[in-house]
Structure 1
Amino acid sequence: MCKLRLWLSMVADIEDEPQEVEPLPNIDFNIRLGDSLIGFESTEVAVDGQKLLIAERLKEDLEEYRDNVEAYKSAEEDISQLRGELDDLHDKLQTQLNEWFADLPDIKVEDEISKPEEIREIISSSNGDVKLKLKFVDPIDDDLDQELNDLGFRTWKKAANLKLGNRDAMAGKPEEIFEVIPADQLARSFVERGLLEEDIDQLDPFHWVMEFPDAYDAIGDDDRDDASNGFDIVLENPPYVRIESVDEPQRDIYKELHETATGRCDLYVPFIERSFELLSEKGRNSIITSNLFMRTEYGESVDHIGLEEVSAWT
């Protein structure tokens, strides 16, 4: 839709023969699609407790992708071949970045379960251990507390958690658990796990470091005068919807990744946070947004994202 509107705008500006308009230059790689709240916006992240330097690990491929995009934009021949090579390299980079993103320790997905077979299926499809979480209607009595502890659960007044893996599934632990749990006392039972490939496909992460490598000094032009990670200008018109309207697992991941995504916040609040994360050291940000967050409890979190100099117009 964005590409179409730009093209129609250019047609409208032509005074003579609209049919003579040429295809929009460079549009394929200047307009990108994805969930901009999910994905890598920095070249440095922590994965499995270790610092991951994306620019170093993928520097050669990212530089090749950047150079090929520039070649494609200026090419007059062999365009289809160049585009095919670009798509292949993009898919390769996307796959690697998605794998690293799925390994982020803070990213968890919840699956509701009601029987042992569902736990087994989740364990078998997961890359690592999962955590079974139980929520009870009433406080756990002493007898149930003892039985849960014997199974390895950590218990609270109305909740119990247990880490499970393939060895537990093979030993019949899911069946033992459901023999002990009084179904009429369960308010909720679910498994917390890491991201799977099908989750990533649904989430469609937008990796800024790949889509716009020139904005990052470790990947971009070494001659850039103000070399720093990020964009010099960010213009934003975020969505105005409650975060509750977002489907899982996106909603939970937004709350894990963005400290401003608290309570029943409006979705534009984490977008504000993201836009400032994307700025270079001397970058400028311009946002069309409601001022409602200034009068709400969830809006207090915006004060913690490093806004040192903000001007507002109403």
Structure 2
Amino acid sequence: MQCIEYFQRLEAEGQGWELESRTREEIEEIESGKGSSSLYAKRTAILNNLYGVDIDEGAVEICKLRLWLSMVADIEDEPSEVEPLPNIDFNVRQGNSLIGQLDTDIESNEDGDSDLDSWEVKTRFEDVKEAIEKHKKAETSVEAQEWRREAEDRIEEHRDKFDKILRREFQDAGFDDITIEEIREWSPFHWPLEFADVFEKGGFDVFIGNPPWDMLYANRDDFFIRYDEQFRTYPSEEKDGVMEDLLTNPEVAWEWEDYKESMETQADFFTQGDVYKLQSPVVGGRTMPTKNELSALFLERVFRLSRDGVKVSLLLPGTIFGGVMGKDLRTHLLDHTDIENLIGFENKGIFEQIHRQYRFAILTFEYGGKTSRLRGIFNQRSMDVVYNIEDVAAEIPRQVLLNYSPEGRIFPSITSQVEADVLSKVVTQPPLDENIEGAWSVDMLTKEFVESTDKDRLQDSPDNADYPVYGGANIHQFEHDNTHTESLDNPRYWSQGMYDPPNSAQYRVREKKFNRGNLKRAIYDAFGGSETSKSQVQFVDKLLEEHRGHGLEEEDVLLDCTEYRIGIRDVSRSRDERTIIATVLPKDVICLHTINTFKPFAIEPEEEHLTESPLRSPYVRRFTDQELFVATGLLNSIAFDFLMRTKVETHIVKRELLESQLPRLTDGDDWFHYIAERAARLNCYGEEFKEMRERLGGIAAAVEDQERRELQAEIDAAAFHAYGLERRDVKFVLDDFHRVENPKLMGEMYFDLVLEKYDLLDQKGPLP
């Protein structure tokens, strides 16, 4: 509209000669036509540039009505003096845009011939385009209806060929007996046929969409509303009753079963077929099961419909950018599109019909090329940010997006440029699960002992018990009991030693470790078992029988609790002042599922070990004593907490923790001894750590509150240096750090102390 007004002004000022002939002709057409220039602009744009598709026929009609009303609003003259509004029945269409052929989907049949002859492919359905064009330009309703019917008939003539190709796709997905009639019940949408005039010119230039945020499943709300218009509004229990009453009708019951089967078939097509390739990512070596999130399917569909240079803007749920299922979609975005803006929102009053905790995002990108950096901001609570995104968004480099979550490819929820800059330094460190020669390595154990299934091995009293069974409420940073923190719970459970198998948690853990087969698998792999035809059990038992006279036994399994090890609280709550709660655990302690542990041993069998009974030499410590405490100190640091708080919501997820970056300090590195010694003094108090204190050269445990506070502040300050953060970075992290009411440690005085220690270390380096 602004262009039209500008050109009209040039014409009025006598400068129309500067315009191209085509532009002058259009200005003359506007001037000589009926209605305002605004109406002309809308009419032209709607008729020639706007297209849409929706599976809901009602939504299609509402869309067409709104487009018509937008034009009616611009009628300034008497309606009888205005040219008829355009016919847009073929601009907005009903159909299932997730099922159907795309322009590139014309494939060969079993004989190697295309189901569409070469002339049809070349001419792009000229007969269809001709009928649609005459429908759009019809000047009477009778003429419009005649050409509409003619166009629909011609589309139907071609549809059969596309449906046959689609049926082969279903057959390839395992539905051998499916019929074309069954497929047509899902309203497949064949893009090059329905929008023939657009695809003749190469396809769309822009995609704008708000795809459904639901999963594909048999939704009773969608079905039973056919029989009760108020069904969606009922409370859950009332829905149960209404549903039960409706299903007493045999016809309704049959249709309900047919609907569920239909939804299951569609879901299996998306899962098992070859059309959608970005819905089942491999994460941590495991293929994730497809959830059939409609928004994820729509995004992949847009990828397929786009060509280089196409602009896309979509409103999508937050799981696309933060959930593990979106990994391949995010990777495709980074490698095949140039992401322009990504604005993440928290639904704090934006959409009243959606839960306040729901997250969503506006994504805009240009298809083709790759993303070198994106402009993004997250956790927004107002749509106002859309109007000043260039002023408030952060420039996030590609390398940050790649390094932040190397396994899951999750995008960081950055809220400022300073945060992006700090994060870019933090993520240059190696992920915890990266194997580095000469450095300690991490393997994490979850659910060592599950209370719900093995409670018969637990007792409520320490009387006649041999060791406690710890849960997350029993530990804090550098603390393994309530000696220094009265708010820590005493152990809830205790258990017996290995001498009493039916009542021993340790014995049960050993049983599970034996059945899990880690030792067996290590021996099998180390001695070439995979090169034989024997099973793991056959190969390992025969090998051990040859060397020591008997096969593998439970006694060969060495429990993790026989060595000091790191435990991490599983739960992270908003009221917790730290996201990561880690400590070195005493020996013999068994952990409930609310504590994750770092395995203290790697299994590295050698031939000389095979004569042992029980096997012990294959178990090699992953950490030296000092490495154990430098790792604990870094895990508990504010710097690492800054990173993890961007990932963790309620629980510490193994994958998210292990792919997070931590300086892998070893003996000889700056800050190694400085952090290790202080963490050990904080952690090694009490009789349970007498052995460790001696192993570390007779260190003195820190027991006074002020001394412990000073030591932890020094660890936090040193960790900032280990991450390579400058003072302004440290100041930002401390100022931005999560505050809670009545903190145990993390008050303003503590933050000031950490900054003071940082400045001191910056001047003097890693002091003794």
TM interval, shorter chain, is: 0.5 to 0.7
Q: Is the 8 A contact 2:115 2:161 kept in 1?
A: no
Secondary structure of 1:289's aligned partner: strand
Q: 1:231 aligns to what?
A: 204
CA distance in 1, matches of 2:120, 2:320: 39
Q: 1:41 aligns to what?
A: 102
Deviation at 1:86, TM superposition (A): 1.3
Using CA pairs under 8 Å that are at least 6 residues apart, name the structure with larger relative contact order, 1 or 2: 1
2:118 pairs with 34, 56, 75, which one? 56
Instruction: Check if 1:312 corresponds to 2:341.
Output: yes
CA distance in 1, matches of 2:116, 2:267: 26
Q: Is the 8 A contact 2:125 2:193 kept in 1?
A: yes
Secondary structure of 1:39's aligned partner: coil
Distance verdict in 2 for CA 1:26–1:212, change over 3 Å:
same
Q: Is the 8 A contact 1:34 1:206 kept in 2?
A: yes
1:264 pairs with 274, 278, 291, which one? 291
Deviation at 1:65, TM superposition (A): 0.9
Q: 1:252 aligns to what?
A: 268
Is the strand fraction higher in 1 or 2? 1
For structure 1, which segment, 253-262 or 85-94, has the greater mean C-alpha deviation from structure 2 after superposition? Answer: 253-262
For structure 1, which segment, 77-86 or 251-260, has the greater mean C-alpha deviation from structure 2 after superposition? Answer: 77-86
Q: Is the 8 A contact 1:107 1:194 kept in 2?
A: no
The letter for the 1-side match of 2:325 is Y
Deviation at 1:207, TM superposition (A): 0.4
Q: Which runs of 5+ in 2 are unaligned?
A: 1-61, 220-262, 281-289, 344-768
Q: Is the 8 A contact 1:230 1:281 kept in 2?
A: no
Q: 1:7 aligns to what?
A: 68
CA distance in 2, matches of 1:20, 1:201: 44
Secondary structure of 2:312's aligned partner: strand
Deviation at 1:20, TM superposition (A): 8.5
Q: 2:91 aligns to what?
A: 30
CA distance in 1, matches of 2:317, 2:81: 42
Distance verdict in 2 for CA 1:296–1:80, change over 3 Å:
closer
CA distance in 2, matches of 1:2, 1:32: 10
The letter for the 1-side match of 2:194 is E
Q: 2:391 aligns to what?
A: none
CA distance in 2, matches of 1:286, 1:5: 21
Distance verdict in 2 for CA 1:105–1:37, change over 3 Å:
closer
Distance verdict in 2 for CA 1:259–1:206, change over 3 Å:
same
Deviation at 1:106, TM superposition (A): 5.4
Deviations 1:230-264 (A, max 9, x none): 32111111110023357232222223221233422
Q: Is the 8 A contact 1:47 1:103 kept in 2?
A: no
Counterparts of 1:116-155 in structure 2, within 5 Å, are: none
Secondary structure of 1:261's aligned partner: coil
CA distance in 1, matches of 2:184, 2:170: 19
Distance verdict in 2 for CA 1:88–1:279, change over 3 Å:
same
CA distance in 1, matches of 2:126, 2:139: 22
Q: Is the 8 A contact 1:236 1:275 kept in 2?
A: no
CA distance in 1, matches of 2:324, 2:77: 56
For structure 1, which segment, 265-274 or 300-309, has the greater mean C-alpha deviation from structure 2 after superposition? Answer: 300-309
Distance verdict in 2 for CA 1:194–1:300, change over 3 Å:
farther
CA distance in 2, matches of 1:61, 1:280: 18
Secondary structure of 2:337's aligned partner: coil
Distance verdict in 2 for CA 1:204–1:94, change over 3 Å:
same
Deviations 1:14-39 (A, max 9, x none): 46778988764131111111000111
Deviation at 1:83, TM superposition (A): 2.3
CA distance in 2, matches of 1:12, 1:265: 41
For structure 1, which segment, 298-307 or 286-295, has the greater mean C-alpha deviation from structure 2 after superposition? Answer: 298-307
1:212 pairs with 171, 191, 195, which one? 195
Q: 1:197 aligns to what?
A: 180
CA distance in 2, matches of 1:81, 1:92: 17
Percent identity over the alignment? 32
Counterparts of 1:294-305 in structure 2, within 5 Å, are: 294-302=321-329, 303-304=331-332
Deviation at 1:44, TM superposition (A): 4.2
Q: 2:463 aligns to what?
A: none
Q: Is the 8 A contact 2:170 2:176 kept in 1?
A: no
CA distance in 1, matches of 2:149, 2:216: 38
Q: Is the 8 A contact 1:26 1:73 kept in 2?
A: yes
The letter for the 1-side match of 2:69 is L
Q: 2:160 aligns to what?
A: 95
Secondary structure of 2:316's aligned partner: coil
CA distance in 1, matches of 2:311, 2:117: 24
Instruction: Check if 1:281 corresponds to 2:308.
Output: yes
Q: Give the structure-1-normalised TM-score.
A: 0.61
Distance verdict in 2 for CA 1:245–1:9, change over 3 Å:
farther
Deviation at 1:45, TM superposition (A): 3.3
The letter for the 2-side match of 1:285 is V
The letter for the 2-side match of 1:230 is G
Q: Is the 8 A contact 1:48 1:105 kept in 2?
A: no
Q: Is the 8 A contact 2:198 2:204 kept in 1?
A: yes
Q: Which runs of 5+ in 1 are unaligned?
A: 110-191, 222-228
Distance verdict in 2 for CA 1:105–1:292, change over 3 Å:
closer
Distance verdict in 2 for CA 1:245–1:285, change over 3 Å:
farther
Q: Give the structure-2-normalised TM-score.
A: 0.27
The letter for the 1-side match of 2:88 is I
Deviation at 1:197, TM superposition (A): 2.5
2:318 pairs with 288, 291, 296, which one? 291
CA distance in 1, matches of 2:93, 2:139: 22
Instruction: Check if 1:241 corresponds to 2:214.
Output: yes
Deviations 1:171-192 (A, max 9, x none): xxxxxxxxxxxxxxxxxxxxx4
Aligned residues: 222
Q: 1:188 aligns to what?
A: none
Deviation at 1:70, TM superposition (A): 1.4
Rg larger in 1 or in 2? 2
Secondary structure of 1:206's aligned partner: coil
Secondary structure of 1:234's aligned partner: strand
